[in-house]
């Protein structure tokens, strides 16, 4: 069975601080995909990144970066110089292929205080 654990339920930081959101996954598949989604108060899940299991290269996109480590089954997400607009619930998710049903973690609520 597949499982995603986001141990941090809520995080609060002051604007401009860096923050890392943790994600640990379990799967018996050798091929799988990992995702991060952002859910602002409006409710829509906004896609942030997809990473397949064969690509362990870390990725940076502006203030966002992702650290994928197969050895520890982790796919952590770091926001550098956080802003108030980053306040949202962030979900990590796992799937067998890029578009089979996703298994989500319970999410981490990030509050960035001005």
Partner 1 sequence: DTGVSQDPRHKITKRGQNVTFRCDPISEHNRLYWYRQTLGQGPEFLTYFQNEAQLEKSRLLSDRFSAERPKGSFSTLEIQRTEQGDSAMYLCASSFLDSGNTIYFGEGSWLTVV
Enumerate helices (H) and strands (E) in the chain, giving the number of each. Answer: 0, 12
Nearest to partner 1 of 89, 112 (CB atom): 89
Q: Which part of the chain contacts partner 1 (CB under 8 A), choosing from 19-27, 47-55, 59-67, 74-82?
A: 47-55
CB 30 within 8 A of CB 21: no
Q: How far is the CB of 70 from partner 1 (least distance, A)?
A: 19
Site for partner 1 in 6-45 (CB under 8 A): 35, 37, 42-45
Phi, psi torsion values for 35, nearest 5 degrees: -135, 155
Where along the sequence are the contacts to partner 1 (CB under 8 A)? 4, 35, 37, 42-47, 50, 52, 91, 93, 95, 97-99, 101-107
């Amino acid at each position: 069975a597949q499982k995603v654990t986001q141990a941090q339920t809520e995080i609060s930081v002051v604007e401009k601080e860096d923050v890392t959101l943790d994600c640990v996954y379990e799967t018996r598949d050798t091929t799988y995909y990992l995702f991060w989604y952002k859910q602002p108060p409006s409710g829509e899940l906004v896609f942030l990144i997809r990473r397949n299991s064969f690509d362990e290269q870390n990725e940076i996109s502006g203030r966002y970066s992702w650290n994928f480590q197969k050895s520890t089954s982790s796919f952590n997400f770091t926001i550098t110089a956080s802003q108030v607009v980053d306040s949202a619930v962030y979900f990590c998710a796992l799937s067998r292929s890029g578009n089979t049903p996703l298994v989500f973690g319970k999410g981490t609520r990030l509050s960035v205080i001005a």
